[in-house]
Structure 1
């Protein structure tokens, strides 16, 4: 009966299936441009570019603030390490001097024969009275040496502690340096992607995008590009005669800015004079700024010290609500508190938006409001 069975069909079926699969793949390759004919991806619209660039700028600004914080902690750690190393060097010199003094005393004692016991020295002495007098002096000298030995021992212990503390601080410093470098790489990566996107636009499209980015207009005198390391003449003291109004008119706020006090007036005046200055991440002036660097420099010019980062700046003064805002208050944006500007009244602020827009005046309501604080 086995001789009458039909031959197995799996080979023919497998061959038919393979032919069908080949045809399907060929069709898919042709439709996907895999047949040797390239199909370029559609060019993003200016609006799509704007949305993606805005996202990249926000992420870069968040990384910038983290970098600023890590850099600030790095600088503090460097100062601590330098101080500890100086202290260790001073203590080493003191310890070496004390050791040398003890060594000289020990050598003199050996040469004088004081290594003999007091009974033997008395027996051999040709002048017993003088020996007894000298023995009392030697006893006092021995007590002094014992004190010096204890002092040297203490100094050695303290030096070890200072050196250990210096090693710990050096480890912290290296950790902060690594953190700063990681945040720096994140910033540069985001900004590079943003520049590539912008390069796909025409010059006119980029101009319109820059006008919309960060809102407002770059009112005020134009500034030369810079990296924030040059010298400038902005001392931030250009307030009006009454000490309550910054110079420069309204600055786009719809009227003269009435500052609550002379220090706030000086800070606003400084920010006004920096209108048009370029945004450079990590910069604190005088020729370029990032957002937190601008407000820090403005208040520093007025003799008021505030922290470097947005995260710390929002807690540096008295928290106020949006309805309580007055000129000079710091206004913060986005859920992560990654952007800051200086309120100047009538719903306007001065801020450093991003690399596509210089320091400018803009509406407060152009970004998600996160809070406000009053520095002075």
Structure 2
């Protein structure tokens, strides 16, 4: 049987089998590519673009974290000072315990020797010894000497008892100091961890800004501090008020000489400082050793009012006294502000004043 001839579609030439299969493959590929492109476009629209962080919000959060880091830093400084003190005190007590034990051992040894001698010679009643003695007068002299020796031994025994009491007391004090030292060490570790966590969180926030915005933020912060200190003029006017003493003048000159140095928590110079570290270092240059922390420095001299402040005096800020600067005159302090900033001038009214101290 002869099959009828199928007419060719107008305008299209008949394709061999292989060519037809290739054409179908191209069509499927094109369709799949189109579908993928549409899906990708839809997916791209589904993922929201991250909003650009607001520099003011970032700065406010970073400032808060830096404030918390400084509070923890001052606690860490206090713990380090306490650790040094307790190590010294416990060392002295342990040395006293060792010396006391040696002295007690010697006393006990002497008493043991005397007791053994008395035991060996004390088997006969003294009245019988007197009757049998060929020289009673000599015996009585010897008896009097023995009585005196007995009194001395009794006194020695009382001293042994007193030495034991003192030794027990020193041991108890040493044990207490060591327990306190252990607590301070744990507190120090905790404070340092808090500082690191706050600084890390602040850096994460800053990293949400690009390098240009971060630089702008730091520059603007420095300009704002200068404007507050200079009251809108070109230069900071420290006035003409003289320091309270030659030492105060020397301390102020040392602090001003460190303007531009970086803030590093726990540092007391000479290349970097935290807030209380700058005060500590500057006054050391004047021959005065201040307490290490801002809280301790608040009680390290004569309390005066802000109206009485003179160059070189310490100005303690915030209710918990976690920040300190040095009064430079003209309503201005010089201080180490916070991590990432440098030693600079600042208006005394920029932060709440808790106390003013004249070392």
TM-score interval (norm. to shorter): 0.7 to 0.9
1:157 to 165, 169, 174: 165
Aligned equivalents of 1:148, 1:325: Cα separation in 2: 62
2:87 to 31, 53, 78: 78
Give the match for residue 265 of structure 2: 281
Aligned equivalents of 1:66, 1:353: Cα separation in 2: 17
Can you list the C-alpha shifts for 1:140-187, whole angstroms capped at 9, x where unaligned? Answer: 111111111111111111111111122122222222222222222211
The answer (yes or no) to whether the contact 2:335–2:346 under 8 Å persists in 1 is: yes
User: 1:333 deviation in Å?
Assistant: 3.0
The answer (yes or no) to whether the contact 1:292–1:340 under 8 Å persists in 2 is: yes
Can you list the C-alpha shifts for 1:275-315, whole angstroms capped at 9, x where unaligned? Answer: 22221112222222110111122123213343332223334
How many pairs were matched up?
305
Give me the TM-score of the superposition, normalised by structure 2.
0.76
Can you list the C-alpha shifts for 1:234-291, whole angstroms capped at 9, x where unaligned? Answer: xxxxxxxxxxxxxxxxxx5336865323111101111022222221112222222110
Considering fraction of residues, name the structure with more helix: 2
Aligned to 2:334, the other structure's residue is in SS state strand
Aligned equivalents of 1:97, 1:195: Cα separation in 2: 64
Aligned equivalents of 2:73, 2:268: Cα separation in 1: 12
Give the match for residue 305 of structure 2: 320
Give the match for residue 350 of structure 1: 334
Aligned equivalents of 1:75, 1:100: Cα separation in 2: 38
Aligned equivalents of 1:270, 1:286: Cα separation in 2: 10
Structure 1 residues 119 and 212: alpha-carbon distance in aligned structure 2, compared to 1, 3 A threshold: farther
Give the match for residue 94 of structure 1: 103
Structure 1 residues 132 and 307: alpha-carbon distance in aligned structure 2, compared to 1, 3 A threshold: same
Structure 1 residues 117 and 44: alpha-carbon distance in aligned structure 2, compared to 1, 3 A threshold: farther
Aligned to 1:340, the other structure's residue is in SS state strand
Give the match for residue 194 of structure 2: 186
Larger Rg: 2
1:54 to 35, 60, 63: 63
Q: 1:185-334 to 2 correspondence within 5 Å?
A: 185-213=193-221, 215-216=224-225, 253-254=236-237, 258-260=241-243, 261-315=245-299, 316-321=301-306, 323-334=307-318
Q: Point out where structure 2 has 5 or more consecutive residues left out of the alignment.
A: 1-45, 227-234
The answer (yes or no) to whether the contact 2:238–2:331 under 8 Å persists in 1 is: no
